[in-house]
Amino acid sequence: MKYTDCLHVDSTYTTIAHLWLIKRLVQASEWRFVADEDHSLITSVNRVFSKEIRQSDAHHFLCQTDKSKTRKQPREEFVQARVDLINWRTMRGLGTRSLRKLAFLQLQELFENHSFHKEVTTALGTHLEYADNPIHHPLATIDRGFRSVDCTTNLSSLEPKDVASLILNVNDNATNTFIQQIRRRLSILERPLITARGDGKSYIYSNFKPRYAQMAITILSTYYNFCFAYKTNGTIKTPVQRLGLTEKVFDLKDIIYLR
């Protein structure tokens, strides 16, 4: 009696369906996934892209940030990361002033010895296993500070410079941007308001029907993916344009009156 279509479905099952559909639509030769330690995502990636992972054509990276930091700590870490890179440049006698280039060179040096996997020997032979051995990304962000980066898939077939290039681009900016869009545009899903005295919470704008929340997020995600163009790496495109699924920015009328 209380069933809501598309809502009471196991998250892993839903994620597998989404990834399977994306795999069919995009038809890419190589895949890179960035997520936190969400087991539904890790399981889904391993199942849908099992062949690509075995052939080292797909890699899954973990990107995590300590969310218990105060507002002051991320900025301090951001400044400290810049100082550390500059000091490292001075010690190595490098001439470049680009922090991104310095971060790449530092990572390249690190991966001469560091590995995200460990060698395990059994009666049947030797193989590599995930070692849970993350590193701190050398480029901190001003709003979240340092982030830890790891890789659950085997990178042993790549040279240190190639691993450094991959790790340098690992971030969760796209996910955080969409979550912020949800909070800003859907008042019913906003965090509870703190009372003036700070001793309580107000749920005056909260949503009390999950069905409406699911509908609102579906509408927002459609708009975000097909209609909302933003600038990244010098280009202004929508998410589906970046995936190569379409060549134009859609208008809301294109979605509403689609036949």
Task: Output the tens digit of pLDDT for each of the chain's 259 residues.
Answer: 666 666 667 788 888 998 999 999 888 899 999 998 888 899 999 999 999 999 999 999 999 998 888 889 999 999 999 999 999 999 999 989 999 999 999 999 999 999 999 989 888 888 889 999 999 999 999 988 999 999 999 999 899 999 999 999 999 888 888 888 888 888 777 766 776 666 677 766 666 677 788 888 888 999 999 999 988 778 899 988 988 888 999 998 888 887 6
For residues 233 and 159, what is the distance between their CA atoms, to the nearest angstrom?
25
Residue 54: phi and psi, rounded to 5, are -65, -35
- Taking only the tens place, the pLDDT of each residue in 24-79 is 988 889 999 999 888 889 999 999 999 999 999 999 999 999 888 888 999 999 99
For residues 104 and 128, what is the distance between their CA atoms, to the nearest angstrom?
25
For residues 150 and 159, what is the distance between their CA atoms, to the nearest angstrom?
17
Q: Is the dihedral of CA 206, 211, 215, 221 positive or negative?
A: positive
135 close to 114: Cβ distance less than 8 angstroms: yes
> How would you classify the pairing of strands 193-194 and 58-64?
unpaired
163 close to 111: Cβ distance less than 8 angstroms: yes
Among 79, 104, 106, which residue's Cα sits nearest to residue 92? 106
Residue 155 has what pLDDT?
Answer: 93
Distance from CA of residue 215 to its chain's centroid? Answer: 24
Residue 179 has what pLDDT?
Answer: 85
* This model's pTM is above 0.95: no
